[in-house]
Amino acid sequence: SQTIHQWPATLVQPVGSPLSLECTVEGTSNPNLYWYRQAAGRGLQLLFYSVGIGQISSEVPQNLSASRPQDRQFILSSKKLLLSDSGFYLCAWSVRGPVGVSYEQYFGPGTRLTVT
Amino acid sequence: EDKVVQSPLSLVVHEGDTVTLNCSYEVTNFRSLLWYKQEKKAPTFLFMLTSSGIEKKSGRLSSILDKKELFSILNITATQTGDSAVYLCAVPGTSGTYKYIFGTGTRLKVLA
């Protein structure tokens, strides 16, 4: 069965510090991978998604970046955090199937980031 | 532009009540609609609906899709305090993008 891991679970970082959040998926190959952010009491904001190694689509211009160095690894980074980066960061995966066929999306446990 | 709208935004009921949550959508080349339950942490998958009029059921939860009127409903019967959560619906975006468009969710609180 497939499993998705995220770490760390919680993080408190000062403004201006760098960030690196990691997500890995087990039990599947060639997944689509996603990073979302959820502010307190708000919906899911798609930040990045990737359909393959080195292929990153950015949805929201901001000081965050993403990388996919391996098939089942997705990393979210920032060089300098802002207060507005606080939130709940979720990694998700779905099967990459033919165009026109959709699949469920499954979420990792999330990282709660507080920027102070 | 692809869009998903959920209603109501929040709902408070008592244990044993039945609730109906709504999700309407606008998307080019509709393929499916997904429902999730989010408690304190990550959303957990409930249902994926692809065909109109066919009910999906899991215990006290059920959901149905109307592709003509572009909406779905999620029903929860005999609610329990453990049903308290945010319920999210999502649709895959315009074909070829691999994005999922999420609604802002319905926050359900079930009182004992």
Strand order in the sheet with B19-26: B3-7, B19-26, B71-76, B61-66, B56-58
pLDDT tens-place string over residues B3-59: 999 999 999 999 999 999 999 999 888 889 999 999 988 999 999 999 888 899 999
Report CB contact under 8 Å: B48, A104.
Answer: yes
Residues of chain A with C-beta less than 8 angstroms from the C-beta of B29: 100
- Supply the pLDDT for residue B95: 67
* Chain A residue set in contact with B, beta carbons under 8 Å: 32, 34, 42-44, 46, 49, 51, 59, 90, 94, 96, 99-110
Say yes or no to pLDDT of B64 above 80: yes
pLDDT tens-place string over residues A101-115: 778 999 999 999 999
How far does A88 lie from chain B, in Å, by closest CA? 9
Category of B52 on φ-ψ map: left (φ > 0), alpha (ψ -120 to 50) or beta: beta
For chain A, give the percent of residues with pLDDT over 90.
78
Q: How far is CA A2 from CA A82, A89, A93, A106, B83, in A?
A: 34, 20, 10, 9, 25
